[in-house]
Structure 1
Amino acid sequence: MPSSLHNRVVDAVGRPIVDGRTPAGTIMLSDDIVRHQGVSRSVAREAVRVLAAMGLVESIKRVGIRVLPQSRWNAFDPTVIRWRLSGTGLGAQLRSLSELRASVEPMAAELAAQHAPPAIAAELMTVAAQMKTVGRSGDLDRFLELDIHFHRLVLHGSGNEMFAKLDEVIAAVLSGRTDVGLMPQKPHETALQWHVDVADAIQGGDPQRARESMELIMRRTIAEVEPTWVDTPRVYFP
């Protein structure tokens, strides 16, 4: 099936679930998806399979497709994250991801300073220097590419395979922050320098400085986006 058609159906059915427009407990029928989306049964079936893998729905024999509560969602799925960032869940999603990053990335930087292969350390220095140049130019699209690559290198350079698997999650929040206009047209000079400091500490084998420099980046990030969630209640799953 054409991937664009498949993605359209996944988006059309999944996004309203994440936004709350299709509440938990709702029963959908495959025939309704076929009719409303104008697609074949095979396309609808595959879309439901993808949504089930995200934890958004479950198929119940002789009943239909039941929408699941947020406690069942795969909170680390990049598509779920993207939908939340572009909808009513923006503040809560940014808070969760920012707190996750603040917990993980300083440790990843510390470990990278101890264990990163020379090639990764050298590439980090190159990317950090490019970020400075591009950041000053105001090219946000190119800066986003470099920023994603920088943080991915730190995660992978840590040598921790679970940290490395968070690279798409971090990429999703960096992209989402830019998409919703929460990035300044020109990143702050201090933040650009902190990225250079992280890279320099990793290449120089200085774990404490690498961690402290990444913590500065995380604190500034939280301070910049915190207004989006200041009035958003936290959710406590049973």
Structure 2
Amino acid sequence: MVELQGLHGQVVDRIGEALADDERRAGRVLRLEDVQARYGVSRTVAREAVRVLESKRVVHSRPRVGITVRPLPEWNLYDPQVIRWRLATSQRREQLRELAELRAAVEPSAAALAARRGDPALRETLLAHARAMSGAGRDGDMKGFIAADAAFHRTLLAASANTMFAQLADVTEELLVARGELSLMPERVEEAAVLRHVEAARAVAAGDAAGAAQCLRVILDHSRGEVERLLDGGAGDDGRSGSCAFGP
């Protein structure tokens, strides 16, 4: 059974990436026979792969029509696997832009809410993750830094006490992990990036809603700029101050 899940999972990824890379395929019929032939799998594996795609709203089945590819806006675009597909294709820059805009709309508000009404234990955990980022940075441990960064933002969203914000943590984590996998991180951890997170955690712990929101705006602004520079072949750090107090 594990073997079957692994095989149909590979087929799902290959189909998903292909569909994400070509929006012109929307409306086309996806036949099980074609999936079997193209990927060299059994009908059982092809059917299971299509079921997964249907659960993500990538395709839908209709009587006497068959399995039809949905337009991209109808997909479950918050699904981490769908995000990975888009990041693996020519849609990468567009997906990164949309994720950055989503985070900019949500995380400053989450930080303000965390400062106003967050759980004291979560506030301490937030500061611990910021310190873990600092330690990983000093050690040159980029993988550890990304893990601590993802944990920081997951905790921040949870500390907002808004369960809908909290469910966006998987989206944020997918972006941060993908940055490492796609070589969209600087070669070394910038001390300024760590400082911003520490200041954000301290603002939340102090109940400073405006300061916490400002810190997140600066963090996300620098992050987006860094990704854009790296996509264009430049360096990650723009040389600007790391402190939240100076603004973006």
Alignment equivalent of 2:190, drawn from 183, 188, 191: 188
Q: How far is 1:22 from its partner?
A: 7.2
In the alignment of these two chains, the number of paired residues is: 229
SS of corresponding position for 1:75? coil
* Corresponding residue of 1:39: 41
Cα pair 1:54 1:77 within 8 Å, conserved = yes
* Corresponding residue of 2:235: none
SS of corresponding position for 2:25? coil
Q: Unaligned 5+ residue runs, structure 2?
A: 233-248
> Mean Cα displacement is larger for which, 150-159 or 33-42?
33-42
Cα pair 1:30 1:64 within 8 Å, conserved = no
Q: How far is 1:151 from its partner?
A: 0.2
Alignment equivalent of 2:104, drawn from 76, 80, 102: 102
Paired with 1:37 and 1:93, the residues of 2 have a C-alpha distance of 27
Cα pair 1:182 1:225 within 8 Å, conserved = yes
Please give the residue correspondences for 1:47-196 in structure 2 after superposition, counting only pairs within 5 Å. 47-196=49-198
Which amino acid in 2 is paired with 1:98?
Answer: A
Percent sequence identity over matched residues?
A: 43
List per-residue Cα deviations over 1:94-136 (Å, max 9, x = no partner): 0000011111111111111112212111111111111011113
Which amino acid in 1 is paired with 2:157?
Answer: L
Cα pair 2:32 2:43 within 8 Å, conserved = yes
* Corresponding residue of 1:234: none
Paired with 1:98 and 1:200, the residues of 2 have a C-alpha distance of 23
Which amino acid in 1 is paired with 2:165?
Answer: F
Cα pair 2:23 2:71 within 8 Å, conserved = no
Paired with 1:203 and 1:21, the residues of 2 have a C-alpha distance of 45
* Corresponding residue of 1:233: none
* Corresponding residue of 1:207: 209
Which amino acid in 2 is paired with 1:54?
Answer: K
> Mean Cα displacement is larger for which, 217-226 or 39-48?
39-48
* Corresponding residue of 1:25: 27
Cα pair 1:138 1:185 within 8 Å, conserved = no
Q: How far is 1:226 from its partner?
A: 3.0
Normalising to structure 2: TM-score of the pair? 0.86
Which amino acid in 2 is paired with 1:111?
Answer: L
Paired with 1:4 and 1:100, the residues of 2 have a C-alpha distance of 32
Q: Alpha carbon RMSD of aligned pairs, Å?
A: 1.8
Which amino acid in 2 is paired with 1:71?
Answer: P
Cα pair 2:17 2:88 within 8 Å, conserved = no
SS of corresponding position for 1:205? coil
Cα pair 1:84 1:90 within 8 Å, conserved = yes
Normalising to structure 1: TM-score of the pair? 0.90
Paired with 1:169 and 1:48, the residues of 2 have a C-alpha distance of 23
Which amino acid in 2 is paired with 1:84?
Answer: R
Which amino acid in 1 is paired with 2:178?
Answer: G
Paired with 2:24 and 2:47, the residues of 1 have a C-alpha distance of 19
